[in-house]
C-alpha cells in the first residue's frame, strides 16, 4: 500500500485465483459418479444464507451505530429462520449443514474450539494494522514486515503439528497451541507505549507458532471424528466454523473501533487473547475423549 492503491490488495488475487483454478483442474481427482445424486436443497440454502447473513449483518449494524430497532428485528428474524433451519437439517437424510454431527462430543468440542480460535485470529489480524499504524505510527511497509512473522511461524509449525498428531492427543496439542497463542496476544496487549521491533516480533512468532500447532490437529480431528461416510459433511462444518469465527472476529473489531476509537485496538487484542484462552480450555476438554485414527 506504500506504492499503490489499496485496490491492488484485491486485484493481485485475480491471477493467483486463475493459477489455482488451472492447477485444480489439472491435478485434483474427479468426483466418483453415483447412480443417484442428491437434489440441491434450495430451501435449506436460502435459510442457511439468511441465518448466517443476518448474524453478520446485525453485528456489523451494531458496530456502525445503526438503529437498535432494526438490529433487534434482524435478530428476531435470525432466531425464527435459524430455528426452522435447524429443524429441517435434523430431519433430512443428507442435510446441507450436518448439525447432527454435533452430537458426537469430540466433533462438537473441536468445532467450538475452531470457532473461538478463528475469531481470536481475525480479531488480532484485523486490529493489528490499525494498532501499528494509528497508535504506534509505523509506516505501511513497517506494518507489513512486523506482521510477517505470524504467518511464517504458522507455516513452520504446521508440518511439526502434522507429525505430532500421530503421537499425541489432538486435544493436548490444540490446548498447548492456544495457550502459546494466548501468551503472544497478551504480550501484544501489554506492549509499552514505544515498543521496539523485537518487542513486537517475538509475540507475533508466539501467535503464529501457537496457531500452527493448533490448526492441523484440530482439522484432522474434525474430519476423523465423524463417520467415514460423513467426511464431506464434516468438511463443510469445518469451513462453516472457520468462516463464522472469522466473520464474527472482523465484525467485533469494527464494533470496538466504532465504540472506543483508537483504544479499540487494545480491546480487540484483549478479546482475542481471552478467546484464545477459552479455545485452549475447550480443546483441553477433548483429552477425556478417546483418540481417533484416520
Per-residue pLDDT tens, the chain, 294 aa: give them.
566 677 777 888 899 999 999 999 988 887 666 656 667 788 889 999 999 889 888 888 887 778 889 999 999 999 999 999 999 988 888 888 888 899 999 999 999 999 999 999 999 999 999 999 999 999 888 999 999 999 999 999 988 998 888 888 888 999 999 999 999 999 999 999 889 999 999 999 999 999 999 998 999 999 988 888 888 888 989 999 999 999 899 989 988 988 888 889 999 999 999 999 999 999 999 888 776 655
Q: Quote the pLDDT of residue 92.
A: 85
Distance CA 212, CA 128 (A): 19
Q: Quote the pLDDT of residue 108.
A: 92
Ranges of CATH 1.20.1250.20 domains, the chain: 98-288
Q: What is the 3-state secondary structure (H, E, C) of the chain?
A: CCCCCCCHHHHCHHHHHHHHHHHHHHHCCCCCCCCCCCCCCHHHHHHHHHHHHHHHHHHHHHHCCCCHHHHHHHHHHHHHHHHHHHHHHHHCCCCCCCHHHHHCHHHHHHHHHHHHHHHHHHHHHHHHHHHHHHHCCCCHHHHHHHHCHHHHHHHHHHHHHHHHCCCCCHHHHHHHHHHHHHHHHHHHHCCCCCCCHHHHHHHHHHHHHHHHHHHHHHHHHHHHHCCHHHHHHHHHHHHHHHHHHHHHHHHHHHHHHHHHCCHHHHHHHHHHHHHHHHHHHHHHHHHHCCCCCC
Q: Quote the pLDDT of residue 62.
A: 81
CATH 1.20.1250.20 fits 98-288, yes or no: yes
pTM for the model stands at 0.85
Q: Quote the pLDDT of residue 33.
A: 61
Amino acid at each position: 500500500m506504500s506504492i499503490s492503491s489499496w485496490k491492488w490488495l484485491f486485484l493481485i488475487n485475480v491471477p493467483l485465483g486463475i493459477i489455482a483454478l488451472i492447477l485444480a483442474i489439472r491435478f485434483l481427482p474427479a468426483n466418483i459418479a453415483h447412480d443417484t445424486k442428491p437434489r440441491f436443497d434450495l430451501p435449506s440454502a436460502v435459510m442457511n444464507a439468511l441465518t448466517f447473513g443476518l448474524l453478520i449483518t446485525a453485528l456489523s449494524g451494531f458496530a456502525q451505530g445503526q438503529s437498535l430497532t432494526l438490529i433487534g428485528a434482524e435478530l428476531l428474524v435470525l432466531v425464527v429462520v435459524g430455528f426452522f433451519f435447524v429443524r429441517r437439517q435434523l430431519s433430512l437424510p443428507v442435510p446441507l449443514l450436518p448439525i447432527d454431527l454435533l452430537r458426537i462430543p469430540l466433533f462438537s468440542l473441536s468445532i467450538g474450539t475452531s470457532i473461538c480460535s478463528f475469531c481470536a485470529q481475525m480479531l488480532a489480524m484485523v486490529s493489528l494494522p490499525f494498532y501499528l499504524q494509528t497508535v504506534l505510527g509505523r509506516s505501511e511497509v513497517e506494518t507489513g514486515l512486523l506482521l510477517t512473522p505470524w504467518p511464517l511461524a504458522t507455516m513452520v509449525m504446521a508440518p511439526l503439528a502434522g507429525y505430532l498428531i500421530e503421537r499425541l492427543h489432538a486435544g493436548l496439542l490444540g490446548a498447548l497451541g492456544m495457550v502459546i497463542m494466548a501468551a503472544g496476544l497478551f504480550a501484544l496487549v501489554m506492549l509499552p507505549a514505544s515498543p521496539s521491533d523485537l518487542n513486537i516480533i517475538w509475540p507475533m512468532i508466539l501467535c503464529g507458532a501457537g496457531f500452527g500447532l493448533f490448526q492441523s490437529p484440530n482439522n484432522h480431528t474434525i474430519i476423523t471424528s465423524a463417520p467415514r461416510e460423513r467426511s464431506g459433511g464434516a468438511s463443510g462444518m469445518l469451513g462453516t466454523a472457520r468462516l463464522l469465527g472469522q466473520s464474527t472476529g472482523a465484525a467485533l473489531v469494527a464494533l470496538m473501533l466504532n465504540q472506543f476509537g483508537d483504544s479499540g485496538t487494545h480491546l480487540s487484542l484483549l478479546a482475542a487473547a481471552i478467546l484464545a484462552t477459552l479455545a485452549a480450555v475447550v480443546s483441553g476438554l477433548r483429552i477425556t475423549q478417546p483418540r481417533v485414527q484416520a
